[in-house]
Every structure is written in structure tokens, then in C-alpha cells.
Structure 1
Amino acid sequence: MSAPHDPGTSSGVFRRKPIEQIDDGSEGVGLQRTLGLRQLTAIGVGGIIGAGIFSLAGAVANQTAGPAVLISFLIAGIASAAAAFSYAEFAGLIPRAGSAYTYGYAVLGEIVGWFIGWDLLLEYTAIVSVVAIGISGYFNDLLGFLDIKLPLWMSGAPGTEKVGEVAAGSYKVNLFAVLLCLLIAFILNQGMKNAARFETLLVYLKVALVILVIVVGAFHINTGNYDNFFPFGLSGAFTGAATVFFAVFGYDAMSTAAEESKDSTKHMPKAILYSLAISMVLYVLACLVLTGMVNFKDINPTSAFSSAFKSVGLPWLGAVIAAGAIIGILTVLFTFLMGATRVGYSMSRDGLLPKWFSKTHPVRKVPSRMTWILGGASALIAGFLPIGEAAELTNIGILLAFVVVCVAVIVLRYKQPDLPRTFKTPGMPVVPIIGVFFSLWLITFLQWQTWLRFAIWFAIGMVIYFGYSRSHSALAKRGSDPESTD
């Protein structure tokens, strides 16, 4: 990649690899470029649309925002778009695996890259676990439609029992969630071309289901249900935005596949923006239909659409939605486990983790070792932690990654304005600053337990960085950046 020279940093924890020296995988080693624009967009949509429609929309409408839940999604979408523009600029400029980790490393320094990469390893893996647990709940609901009951010991993690529901100790493992995580790891290990075909098919089915819900539901809208549009006030809509924000990212994990895109400098920015735009249109229309079909007070917060269609005499569609939710949310597992493995692969290739982890399959050209390790880790979390405890491992890292990417895009635009960017963030620097503001604002909504777990994980990461990564990184082994003038 030809570009104006980046002076970089010659030594220390803030050393940077000049962008023109970053390997984009074009030499034919490492990962294999097989993904086109359609597949990249499908992976992005697969990561964004999931629990947001099938779970969060109903819960927020019922408890937080009322019909203004669609405003909540719009606010969250605008905030997410501010970060998405920054991701799109970097994706076109640095066509390399790793996403926020790689961008932070290249612009803000090694310690920042490590910090974000280490954090995303936990966040993405935990998201896979949480989503797998959620899918297992839908699976149990679907079995209920068929009058099938699984043994309690395999139906949930220890501690899942509710008081008065079943005897303590009845649940031993969430076996279905464990098998789901391992299944996705297996699919990812079949090679990105085959795995992407599987993901794209599921995304088409999911989008078709959401469109079916919107079209059929539109004929059962009672406009009177919109009369009290802000029952919880405008503040309810903003609080709802903080909740649903976690349903409007996914493009960040998709962007970790930059080295597997056939023409990443052109396709990756488009895929990021297309996937967010498609998802937001579907989110808003689905919310409009849901709150029009049922008064917000009567929306079932756990199975909103299934219950809504039952209430209008279409129980068969409720069963279809339960089955479709399993398929729809499954794509989220794929996107985020792929993202976690590509971040880990990039950190290993840069020497911040042992090189053993970045070994790719000789034929399929995927990081098999990292995929099985993280797939196994997500399976353990999903199998043995209740969903609430697993969920507390998520959120903060992705928001901090958004902050880093938005800050980095501003820094690089002013330090190296002449780099060959295939996409430029509009409204510089206002749009990235909006992304920073919203991300920091949403962090204030997180529980103290989330901060505690984050602090523990961060401390472990610092021990590993200063004990191993700092001295074993590719830049450290070269002694200094040969292009550096600092």
C-alpha cells in the first residue's frame, strides 16, 4: 500500500506500525479473500438484527418507552452511525483483520491496541454465550409448542432456577447453548467461503421473516394504540436508546473480516453502512407494527411478536416467529465468534499473543486454533453461567472500542490527511465526536458489577502485556521501527 510516511513511534508502549507497512494479506499468506459485498453485508446484518427485534423491542416498549420505542431505535441508530462512519473510513484505509484493535494499534499505539483487543476478546466471546443462552430459551419455547419437555438437568445453568419454580440444583448445564457454540465454531472452521454461504442463507431467512411480520402485522394495526406515544416521557425514549444501542452494532465484528474480503478497500465501507441502514429500516418498521398491534401495556416483554399475533387470532404465526427467532439470532453467534477469532488472530500475528494462536488451517485458511479455543470458552460460559451473569461481561468493551475508533479517525485525518481513503467520514470532526459522546454517555448506564469485571480483566491483560506482549511484539523484535524518525 503506497501512502505518505507515518513517522510512528520508535519505542515504548505507544510505538505504532506505520500504515503503509501494515500487511493487508495481499501476499497470499494467512487468511483467504473470498467475501464479496453481498456476503459482507449479510454478515453485518446477521450481527445487528437478532435479539433487538425478537426480545429487546418488546421489553423496552412495555417497560421503558411505550410506542416511542421506535424513537429509541432511531436515537441509537444515529449514535451507532456516528461510529459506523469512522469504522467505514478505517475499513477502506486499513484492509486488515482486527477492526478496532488494528485501528487503535496503527494510530494511537501498541498499548491502546492491546487494551482494545484484549477487551474485545472477552466482549465478543461473552456476546456469543449470551446469545446462545437466549436461543436456548426460544428452543425450549418451541418444544413447548410441540408438547416436548427436556430433562431439567440439561435445560439451564446452575443458578438459573427462580424461587418457587423448581428445586435448587435442578439445573446442571445449558446443554443446547453449549452445543450451539461448538456448532458455530465447527462451521467457521470449514472455511470462510462455506461459512459465509451458511450465514448468508440464514440472514435471507431472517430478513424474510421480519418482512413477513411487518407486512402481516400492518393489517392488524390499531392507530389508537399510538395515542399515548410518550407514556414515559421523552426521557423514557432516551433511556430506551441506551438499552437498545446494544442491538444496533455488529458491523464492528463484521469489519474484523477485512482480510477475507475480495476488495476490502471498496466493499468494506459499503458493507458497514449498508448493513446498518437495512437493519435500522427493519427495526423501525417492526417497532411501528408491534406497538400498533398491541397497547404497550399489554406487550409481552419476553415474546412480544409471538404474543402479539396470538392476540389477533394468528397463533400459527407466533409459532413461526419462535422458530424464526432461533434462526435469526443464530446469525449473531456467527458474526461475533468470527469477530473474536479474527481479533485474537491479529493480536497473535503481531506477536502480542503467542504465534501458535495465529496458525491457520493449511487448506481452509482459517485460524482454527483460535476458533476452537474461543468457541470452547463461549460454550463453557453459556453452559454454566446464568444469562444475567454472562451478560454482565459484555457491553463496556465495545463502547470503549467505539471511543477509540472515533478518536483515532480524527487524529489520523489531521496527522495524515493525504492517505488514500476510499471513504471519508462526513462532518469531520463533529460526527466522530458525536460517536464519542454517545458511547461515553451509554457507559454511565452500566452496572458497577460490569465495571468490576472489566477492571479484573483489564488487570489480567496488563500483567500479560508487560510480562509477555511488550517484549514479544513484532515491533519490539525489530528493535525499533525502521521508518521512524522519532
Structure 2
Amino acid sequence: MFAQLFRTKPIEIGRHSGLRKCLTAFDLALLGIGCAIGTGIFVLTGIAAAVYSGPAVIISFIIAGLAAGFAGFAYAELAASVGGSGSAYGYTYVAFGEFFAWVIAWILLLEYGVGAAAVANGWSGYFINTLANFHIVIPDAWTKAPSQGGIINLPAFGIIWLLVLVLVSGVKQSSTVNNIMVVIKISTIAIFLAIAVGHINTDNWQPFMPFGWFSTQADGHNIGILAGASLVFFAYFGFDAVSTAADEARNPQRDLPIGLIAALIFCTVIYILVAGMLTGVVHYSDLNVSSPVAYALATLGYSWSSTLVATGILAGLITVLLVLLYGLTRILYAMSHDGLIPAVFSKVNPERHTPTRLILLCGSIISIVAGFFPLGTLAETVNIGTLASFIMVCCGVIILRIRQPDLPRPFKNPWNPLIPLLGIVSCSALMAFLPDETWHRFLIWVGIGIVMYFVYSMRHSKLRTK
């Protein structure tokens, strides 16, 4: 029985999944940009500068970007050589075996599922505030969870189902919606950069490193550039969703590496530019606000800034939510295809070429969580799950280079094994800077997943039955 735990799955490049192959490298890059540029750039940048890093938040973004970049090269190699719609789950299955694949899949469900519910809650808040600017007020009963004195967070519940309908309609339609929303939010960022560049005050960058590299305060709160890097790593959360589209890419062995690396480079440059401009026009100590970009524009005297930024944020969060829901359904689809969850969820609609039942299931669960439960600090656990999956992918590159040296690799990591080793070290270091309570929640979640594996998944695995 225990030999089954570490039995690896054969590589299935080119298998017929029933999903429609229609995504180009450009679509895949915008998929990654759509998920990566959202809350991180419009909200997190200000908090990281004010509380953790000061103007050196630029360095925090560079450090987090390097860690994500090392992992990105590992993803690109495995996406081209291993393929499949399961992202890190599928790569771990091939490199380490079924048990570790299940653990990573369980972590990915946390990353995508909790992340989607959290983003839906965030979108709801901005949507309500935007309506209030036009003197449209929704009663509290329909904007708050029962534990907060309401009935349901209806905007959060509704946006999930709106995007579920988009996903059910087909992957090409979903990609088109994502591309349009990406253009809107990139335009918003471009307008901010164009305005800010003429109002930079270099005195705002002094002192550049007010909190140093890393320290722990008396209340246990970590501050400094490295602690800031652990926080802003959330900005890179989800770019790996590109790898979940392998079964729907026209030429996955060529287009997936291009899409992954292009999305990562573009997002890193944008984050650094926005962080530099933001701390250049406003002193970092004033940026601990819910919408620092809007605050900076208002400080410069641009009264229309709230509407502009609200448009960018609403479009940005919609793309994040759409890609998270898409990635979640494709990971579960791969698990169902392998027998680790019921096979009914790997059924593909013959007309739309989408796993309709699975999309509806995910929409039902996440909309209930988003509508009826305030997530609070649970969303912080998303970061540690993302970092753990990145580490496993980096390890997988090294293991497969040893175990299967002759495996066709259309894209190869440069300077192997240095790049994946740097990915392992940098992502592990960022995990170490996360708070203890985040680790506790993460380990409890993993423990629940291990129980689920032995109770159901191991007994129904197709690899086991073979």
C-alpha cells in the first residue's frame, strides 16, 4: 500500500483532454498579468511602504520578484516538458509521486479557493464604495455576512456567479473578457505613472530604509525590507495560473514558457515603477490607507482620481477572480482525471468544451464562502501555500533532470541546477519571515488534506487501479 504513495505518473504530453485548444502565447501572458496585477498594486504597495519597508519597498518587490522569477523558470521548463492542466500538482505527480502530488493539490485548492473568496470580498467593498460615490446605497443587510449583522454579502456572491457564467461559456470567451479587463487596468496604471512622474519629490525617498532589512518589534510584528518582501509576494500570487492552461494552449510546449516568463517580467517592472512613483509623490508614512494610488492622486489635486482608480481596481479584481476560478477548476479537473476526486467532475461539455459541472460546483462553494463568511486573516495563508508550491516545482526540475535526463525539454532552465536551487532557497526564506499563526493555519490545512487522501483519494486513484 505504501509503495503507492510514491509511485509517479507517466508524462501525458499531447493527450486528448476534450478541452478546446485555442489559447495563444499572448492570451497566456495576459492570463498571468490578469491574475497578478490586482490588489497587490492598488492596495498592498502603500501598506508595505508605510508599515514594513518605507521607500525601500522597491527592493522588497525586487526580492519577491527574484524569488518568483526563479520559480517561473522552473514552471516554464516543466510546463513545456510535462504539460497537463494541473500546474504544480501535475509536475509533482510526475517527479515525486501521488502522495506529495495530493498534498500540493490540497495546498493549491487553498491558494486558489480562499484567494478567490478573498478577492470577491475585496471587490465587493470597492463596488459598494463606487456606488456610494454616485449616491447609490445598498442596505447593510445585503453587503455583510451574518456574523457582521447582515444577511449576505450579495455583491461578492453575485460577482462569483457572473464569472461562473463566463467560464461556462468557453475558455476563449473567458480569455476575451480577461484581455479587455487587463487593458482597462493597465490604462489606469499608465495614467497614474504619467501624472506622478512630473510630481516626484526626491526628499520623500529619505530615509530610504527607515526600517532596515529585518527586525521584530516588541509586539512580535516583523518589519523591514525582508518582511515587506514576504508581504508583497502576494502581488505575484496567481501568475502560475498560466500553467493550468496547458490543455487549452494551441502549442503548449512553446507558448506556456513564453506566457509565464512574459507575464512575470511585465508585472515585476510595473510593480517597481508604481512603488517608486508612489513613494516619490507621497511620503511613505502617509500611505497606510485603503487606496494609496487614489490618495496620491488626490494629494496632487486630481479630484477625478477616485473614479479612475475605482475603475482600475474593479477591472483588476475581476480579472484576478476570473483567473483564480479558472485555475481552480483546471486543477480539480486534473485531479478528477487521475481519480483522486470523483470522475464525474472530469466530464467535459461537448458543445462548450468546458468542465461545466466542476465550474458550477466551484462557483457554488466559493460564492457561499464569499457571501456568508468574512475571511479575515485566513487569506494570509494564501501566501505560504503559494511559496510551498513554488518550492516543490523547483525541486521537481532538479529531480526530473536526474531521473529522466533524456526527457524532451523544449525549454530548459539556464544554469541548471543553480536557478531552481535559488528558487528553493529564496522561497523558503520568504516562508520563514511569515508570522507563526500563518504557519499554524497552514499545517492544520495540510493535516486535513492528508486525512482526506487516505480516506478517499488513495483508494480511488487510477494509478493504483492500474
Which TM-score band applies after superposition, normalised by the shorter structure?
over 0.9
Partner of 2:372: 384
> Are the equivalent residues in 1 in contact too, given 2:230–2:434 (CA < 8 A)?
no
Partner of 1:275: 263
2:7 to 15, 26, 34: 15
* Separation (CA, whole Å) in 2 of partners of 1:145 and 1:193: 34
Secondary structure of the residue that 1:255 maps to in structure 2? helix
RMSD between aligned residues = 1.8
> Are the equivalent residues in 1 in contact too, given 2:13–2:82 (CA < 8 A)?
no
Partner of 1:172: 151
Partner of 2:122: 134
* Separation (CA, whole Å) in 2 of partners of 1:182 and 1:198: 15
Q: Which residue identity lines up with residue 292 of structure 1 in the other structure?
A: G
* Separation (CA, whole Å) in 2 of partners of 1:52 and 1:123: 15
- In the alignment of these two chains, the number of paired residues is 457
> Are the equivalent residues in 1 in contact too, given 2:185–2:315 (CA < 8 A)?
yes
Q: Which residue identity lines up with residue 266 of structure 2 in the other structure?
A: I
1:169-204 CA-to-partner distances (Å, cap 9, x unmatched) read 2x3321111111111111111110111111111111
Partner of 1:100: 88
Question: Offset of 1:300 from its aligned partner?
Answer: 4.2
1:48-95 CA-to-partner distances (Å, cap 9, x unmatched) read 111111110011111111111111111100011011110000011122
Whether 1:216 aligns to 2:195 is yes
Alignment of 1:56-455 (within 5 A): 56-160=44-148, 169=149, 171-235=150-214, 236-455=224-443
> Are the equivalent residues in 1 in contact too, given 2:204–2:280 (CA < 8 A)?
yes
1:416-463 CA-to-partner distances (Å, cap 9, x unmatched) read 222111111122222212211222222234444444443443333223
Secondary structure of the residue that 1:12 maps to in structure 2? helix
* Separation (CA, whole Å) in 1 of partners of 2:437 and 2:358: 28
* Separation (CA, whole Å) in 2 of partners of 1:368 and 1:390: 28
* Separation (CA, whole Å) in 2 of partners of 1:229 and 1:315: 29
Instruction: Note the residue ranges of structure 1 that are not aligned, 5 or more in a row.
Output: 1-8, 161-168, 479-486
Cα 1:230–1:315 shift into 2, 3 Å = same
> Are the equivalent residues in 2 in contact too, given 1:392–1:449 (CA < 8 A)?
no
* Separation (CA, whole Å) in 2 of partners of 1:392 and 1:385: 15
> Are the equivalent residues in 2 in contact too, given 1:45–1:250 (CA < 8 A)?
no
Q: Which residue identity lines up with residue 16 of structure 1 in the other structure?
A: T
1:341-382 CA-to-partner distances (Å, cap 9, x unmatched) read 111000000111110111111111111111111122111221
Whether 1:50 aligns to 2:38 is yes
Secondary structure of the residue that 2:304 maps to in structure 1? helix
Q: Runs of 4+ in structure 1 displaced over 3 angstroms?
A: 445-457
Secondary structure of the residue that 1:394 maps to in structure 2? helix
* Separation (CA, whole Å) in 1 of partners of 2:43 and 2:97: 39
Larger deviation, residues 428-437 vs 391-400: 391-400
When normalised by structure 1's length, the TM-score is 0.90
* Separation (CA, whole Å) in 1 of partners of 2:240 and 2:310: 27
* Separation (CA, whole Å) in 2 of partners of 1:229 and 1:450: 29
> Are the equivalent residues in 2 in contact too, given 1:381–1:390 (CA < 8 A)?
no
Question: Offset of 1:253 from its aligned partner?
Answer: 1.5
Secondary structure of the residue that 2:5 maps to in structure 1? coil
* Separation (CA, whole Å) in 2 of partners of 1:159 and 1:436: 40
Instruction: Note the residue ranges of structure 2 that are not aligned, 5 or more in a row.
Output: 215-223
1:213-266 CA-to-partner distances (Å, cap 9, x unmatched) read 111111121122112211112331111101001111322122111110000000
* Separation (CA, whole Å) in 1 of partners of 2:53 and 2:191: 25
Secondary structure of the residue that 1:111 maps to in structure 2? helix
> Are the equivalent residues in 2 in contact too, given 1:56–1:244 (CA < 8 A)?
yes
Question: Offset of 1:118 from its aligned partner?
Answer: 2.0
* Separation (CA, whole Å) in 1 of partners of 2:258 and 2:59: 25
Q: Which residue identity lines up with residue 221 of structure 1 in the other structure?
A: I
> Are the equivalent residues in 1 in contact too, given 2:237–2:383 (CA < 8 A)?
no
2:465 to 459, 477, 481: 477
Cα 1:23–1:355 shift into 2, 3 Å = farther
Question: Offset of 1:315 from its aligned partner?
Answer: 1.5
> Are the equivalent residues in 1 in contact too, given 2:192–2:297 (CA < 8 A)?
no
Larger deviation, residues 317-326 vs 85-94: 317-326
* Separation (CA, whole Å) in 1 of partners of 2:86 and 2:410: 19
Question: Offset of 1:390 from its aligned partner?
Answer: 4.0
Partner of 2:217: none
Question: Offset of 1:330 from its aligned partner?
Answer: 1.1
Secondary structure of the residue that 1:147 maps to in structure 2? coil
> Are the equivalent residues in 1 in contact too, given 2:92–2:392 (CA < 8 A)?
yes
> Are the equivalent residues in 1 in contact too, given 2:40–2:235 (CA < 8 A)?
yes
> Are the equivalent residues in 2 in contact too, given 1:255–1:272 (CA < 8 A)?
yes
